[in-house]
Structure formats: C-alpha cells, structure tokens
Amino acid sequence: MTTHRPFAAVILAAGKGTRMKSDVHKVLHPIAGRAMLDHLLGVVDGLGPSKKIVVVGSGREQVERLVDARAGEVVVQEQQLGTAHAVQQAEAALGGFDGDVLILYGDTPLVEAETMANMLARLNAPDSPAVVVVGFRPSDPMAYGRILARDDGTIEKMVEFKDATEEERAVDLCNSGLMAARAEDLFRLLGQVGNDNAAGEYYLPDIVMLAARAGRRSVVIEAQPWEMAGVNSRAELALVEAVWQRRRRLKAMADGVTLVAPDTVWFAHDTEIGRDCVVEPNVVFGPGVRIADGVTIRAFSHIEGADIATGAEIGPYARLRPGAEIGEKAKVGNFVEVKKARLGKGAKANHLSYIGDADVGAAANIGAGTITCNYDGFFKYPTKIGEGAFIGSNTALVAPVTVGKNAIVGAGSVVTRDVSDEALAVARGKQEERPGWAARFRSMMAAKKKAG
Ligand code: UD1
Ligand code: MG
C-alpha cells in the first residue's frame, strides 16, 4: 500500500507509564508475543514511510535496539511538558522533511494500516484540511479529550476533559490522540501552542483551534473504539491482548481453520496456520509457528518455534519447542516434548517422551517413555533414528548415538552405542527366573513372623 505523498510517522512514547509498575518501558510490553511498539512500527512500515521517529522520555536505551532494527530514530523529550511539546521534539530529527506527518501513540498498538492510510488520504482530499484527527466513541468516554464537530466532520473545538464544561463532557466523540498534518503546517502551529490550561501542559489538540484562527479547517475521521484502545496498566494490556486475540481467531476461522473453542486458543503475532486445520480447546501458540494444511492440534498443547507439515496430529498435551519440525502425517501424542528435532513423514511419538536434538526418520516409531539424553550438563549431543526404526518403550538414547534404519531397540534399554541398520539392540539387565522361589520365600517369612 502506498500513499500519494511521502509521510513520516512520529510515535509518542515519553509518558512515564507509572501505572504499569514496571522496569520495562511501557511500549516494550508484548501483545501476542511482540512489543507494542513493534506492532505499530510494523504497520507503519507496511505503508512505506520516509521516516519514523519515536519520542521517548526515560528508557531510551531500552527502545533503541528495536527502533534501530526498523531503521527508525529515537529522540528524547527530557521533560514531559505535554503532547504538543512531545511532537515538537521530532522536528530536528525530521530535518526539514516536507511531506505529511502521522502522529501515533506508542501505547495504542492496535491501529490498522487502513486507518493510517485513511488519515493520510483525508489530509490530501481536495479540501486540504489543516489537521486530521482520529475520533472514536468509547462505551465509557471517561477522561478522554472531547471533539466538538459538525456533521460534516469539521472540528469546532477540541477540549481536554479537565478543561471541559459539563456540556462539553456530555459529548461522546473522543480524541484518540492520533492526528495527521503536513509537516510545515504542523511545526508552524506547534510553535504557537501555549500551556495556559488546567494541566499546565502543551496540548497537541490546540493546533486545531490555532489552525481555525488562521482560517484553516480541521476534520475528524472516526475509528472503532477497539482500535484506539490504549495501554496504561497491566489490566489494559490484557484487554488489548484480548482484542488482538479475538481478531486473530476470527481471521483464522475466516481462513478455513476450525477452532472448537475459539476463546481458549492463543495465537502469537506471527502464527501461520493452513486450511482445514482443527485446533481443539486450550491450545497456546508461542512465536515462530508454521502449520501446513489439514493439521490437527489437540487440546492443551503448547507450541512454539515449530514447523508442522500437512496432516500431522499433535497432542493432546503435547509440547513443541523451537526447532521442532514435524513431518507429513507424523504424530506427536500426549506428554511428548519435542525440541530442535525433526520427525520424518509418518513418524510417531505417541506417549510420554522427550525428543531433543534429534533426527527421526520417516515411519519410525518411538515407544512410550523414550528419552533422548541429549545433555551432559555441559554440551548437547545429537540422536539419529533411522527410517522405520522401532524404539521400545522406556528407552534412554544416550547421545551422541545413532539407531540404524529399521532397527529395533528392546524396551527398557539404555542405548549408549550405535545400533546398525536392521539389527535388534537390547541393553538392559537380563531377566532371571528361579522356579518356586516366591512360594518358598513367603512360607519362610510367615514362619518367622509367627515365631517372633
Ligand atoms: C491525550 C489527549 C487526549 C486524548 C488522549 C487519548 C492531549 C493533551 N490529550 O490525553 O485528548 O483523549 O490522549 O488517549 O493530547 N506523551 C509524551 N510526552 C508528553 C506527554 C505525553 O510523549 O509530554 C505521550 C504518552 O507517552 C502517550 C501519549 O503521548 O503515548 C498520550 O499521553 P497521555 O499522558 O496518556 O495523554 P492523555 O492525558 O491521556
Ligand atoms: Mg492517556
């Protein structure tokens, strides 16, 4: 998606975030496993910005790596003197940029590309408004700033809750804080903003009244309340997460995935899942999961960093960790953990196993309770299991070790040496039998007890 004129994004994130009660910068708290700020930068990037400036107060060093990685720039607002003052801090970094400026909040991460594109498009409509403001009508308008606008969207006044009359407070159209303006208009207007108000702050919304005084009209466009949901506390973080998850679940279902109990499935920001997959209740996806078509994920499975091929069956109660590659029609059953391991086509590990740093050939069968002993407390070692091999229950495979193609390992073995193709390996104590021993033992003990 491209807009007609070059634009820069200015993301405000200098607020103290006190209510988070956190040592982590507010905008780094994750939604669906990804920092709020990164969600926002990702959407902005999709629109092809010329520049991205993030305005922070304290904690510059925390956000810098993320912003650098996305080729943005961090600027510092030493004192939090208000939203207008915050935007002003970006002026030098914009270095005479003369396109459009999109003003976003780092703690309002759900804004969609479409809304941002609409803001820019509205700014460049034939009537050339000075400022485009995104308004919304929350179910509880609380202490949001209010927008007094005509039916055609022309803004007559913007007023902060603290400064508003009862009548103004009764207006339900609220200021989301998101705005768009041409750079030259914006910084000229910002230079005129004062702080003679209830909060003693430099209010960004004041640019709308300043533009009006110079004969320029500003307009409001409305967005859905969920999109404008901000994060000021852990409770609001959870609410925003819930909104994100609800939308992701709907998208999964629209894309042809059956979610048996949608509210209990948790996606990560980057989960990929194909058509005709079925996800049973209480499944959690961490980051880095790719699932092909026709896969069944059964209840209570936890999956991250895994690649799952067509027709595989996972769970119930399976745990796939980073580097798990599950082949076509393979099966990973209950209480099986797979880490950095490949299961070939049709391979099965159905019960109670740990498979780590391993390569399991096609159609191999891993018996219940099999453990790859991959770690000696210092290093990790690989296990290789050939195609069609059969590993008996309760086997410990002490890595590094290789079990050959079509080999069979007897149950209860501790395998420390390689097993050849087609061979049987049994590595456990030999079974002895003493005929009649149990009966003799019992009568001897019974006699002893009687005597005693
Ligand atoms: C602001 C708006 C209000 C709107 C509300 C929406 C103003 C004056 N008020 O109020 O109309 O309804 O957002 O959530 O704009 N920030 C800085 N530096 C500062 C102050 C704020 O970077 O000096 C950043 C914050 O980190 C945050 C955003 O600006 O991302 C909004 O700041 P906040 O203090 O939450 O503003 P509100 O008082 O809620
Ligand atoms: Mg706020």
Residue whose Cα lies nearest atom 22 of ligand 1: it is 14
State pLDDT tens for residues 390-436.
999 999 999 999 999 999 999 999 999 999 999 999 999 999 999 99
- If pLDDT is split at 50, 70 and 90, which confidence band does 2 have? low
List the beta bridge partners of residue 279: 259, 297
Locate 383 and state its tokens. Answer: 């296990």
- If pLDDT is split at 50, 70 and 90, which confidence band does 207 have? very high
Q: Cα of 112 to ligand 2 centre, how many Å?
A: 19
What H or E segment, with its residue span, contains residue 67? Answer: helix 60-69
Q: Is the pLDDT of residue 231 over 70?
A: yes
d(CA 367, CA 388): 13
Q: Cα of 110 to ligand 2 centre, how many Å?
A: 15
Q: Which of 39, 269, 302, 351 is catalytic?
A: 351
The CATH superfamily holding the domain 340-452 is Hexapeptide repeat proteins (2.160.10.10)
Q: What is the position in ligand 1's atom list of the atom closest to the CA of 26?
A: 26
d(CA 281, CA 6): 46
Q: Which of 270, 79, 99 is nearest to 183 (CA)?
A: 99
Sheet holding 313-314, edge to edge: 258-259, 278-279, 296-297, 313-314, 331-334, 348-351, 365-366, 390-391, 408-409, 424-425
Residue whose Cα lies nearest atom 11 of ligand 1: it is 145
Which DSSP category does 350 fall into? E
Quickly list DSSP for 176-240. Answer: EEEEEEEHHHHHHHHTT----STT-S--TTHHHHHHHHTT---EEEE--GGGG---SSHHHHHHH
Residue whose Cα lies nearest atom 13 of ligand 1: it is 177
Contact 363, 345 (CB under 8 A): yes
Q: What is the position in ligand 1's atom list of the atom closest to the CA of 12?
A: 22
**39, 77, 83, best to mutate for ligand 1 pocket (most atoms within 8 Å of CB):** 83
Contact 148, 165 (CB under 8 A): no
Query: Do strands 155-159 and 383-385 pair parallel, antiparallel, or not at all (unpaired)?
Result: unpaired
Q: What is the pLDDT of residue 352?
A: 98
d(CA 380, CA 378): 7
Q: What is the position in ligand 1's atom list of the atom closest to the CA of 14?
A: 22
Q: What is the pLDDT of residue 395?
A: 98
Q: What is the position in ligand 1's atom list of the atom closest to the CA of 84?
A: 15
Considering every ligand atom shown, identify the ligand nearest to the alpha carbon of residue 204 and give its number. 1
Q: What is the position in ligand 1's atom list of the atom closest to the CA of 106?
A: 30
Q: Cα of 260 to ligand 2 centre, how many Å?
A: 37
The two domains 271-335 and 340-452 share their CATH topology (first three levels equal): yes
Mean pLDDT over each residue of the chain, to the nearest integer: 97
Q: Which of 204, 150, 206, 140 is nearest to 172 (CA)?
A: 140
Considering every ligand atom shown, identify the ligand nearest to the alpha carbon of residue 13 and give its number. 1
Q: Is 302 a catalytic residue?
A: no
Q: What is the pLDDT of residue 452?
A: 86
State pLDDT tens for residues 338-392.
999 999 999 999 999 999 999 999 999 999 999 999 999 999 999 999 999 999 9
Query: Do strands 337-343 and 319-320 pair parallel, antiparallel, or not at all (unpaired)?
Result: parallel
Q: Cα of 55 to ligand 1 centre, how many Å?
A: 12
Residue whose Cα lies nearest atom 17 of ligand 1: it is 14
Residue whose Cα lies nearest atom 6 of ligand 1: it is 176
Q: Is the pLDDT of residue 442 over 80?
A: yes
Distance of CA 90 to the CA centre of its chain: 28
Q: Cα of 197 to ligand 1 centre, how many Å?
A: 15
If phi over 0 gives left and psi between -120 and 50 gives alpha, with beta otherwise, what is residue 376?
alpha
Mean pLDDT calculated for residue range 78-92: 98
413 CB contacts (<8 Å, ≥6 apart)?
392, 395, 396, 425, 426, 427, 428
Considering every ligand atom shown, identify the ligand nearest to the alpha carbon of residue 203 and give its number. 1
Q: Whole-prediction pTM value?
A: 0.94
Considering every ligand atom shown, identify the ligand nearest to the alpha carbon of residue 164 and give its number. 1
Residue whose Cα lies nearest atom 14 of ligand 1: it is 176
Residue whose Cα lies nearest atom 8 of ligand 1: it is 203
Residue type, 87: V
What H or E segment, with its residue span, contains residue 425? Answer: strand 424-425
238 CB contacts (<8 Å, ≥6 apart)?
none
d(CA 196, CA 440): 101
State pLDDT tens for residues 108-133.
999 999 999 999 999 999 999 999 99
Considering every ligand atom shown, identify the ligand nearest to the alpha carbon of residue 26 and give its number. 1
| Domain ranges across the chain | 7-228, 271-335, 340-452
Residue whose Cα lies nearest atom 34 of ligand 1: it is 15
**Fold type of domain 271-335:** UDP N-Acetylglucosamine Acyltransferase; domain 1 (2.160.10)
- CB under 6 Å to ligand 1: residues? 12-15, 55, 77, 80-83, 85-86, 105-107, 144-145, 160, 174-177, 203-205, 230
The CATH superfamily holding the domain 7-228 is Spore Coat Polysaccharide Biosynthesis Protein SpsA; Chain A (3.90.550.10)
Q: What Rg, from alpha-carbon coordinates, does the chain have?
A: 31
Q: What is the position in ligand 1's atom list of the atom closest to the CA of 56?
A: 22
Backbone angles phi, psi at 28, to 5 degrees: -95, -5
State pLDDT tens for residues 27-57.
999 999 999 999 999 999 999 999 999 999 9
Q: Cα of 36 to ligand 2 centre, how many Å?
A: 15
List the beta bridge partners of residue 383: 358, 401
List the beta bridge partners of residue 397: 372, 415
List the beta bridge partners of residue 401: 383
d(CA 116, CA 40): 11
- Which residue matches tokens 């960790």? 321
What is the total residue count of the chain? 452
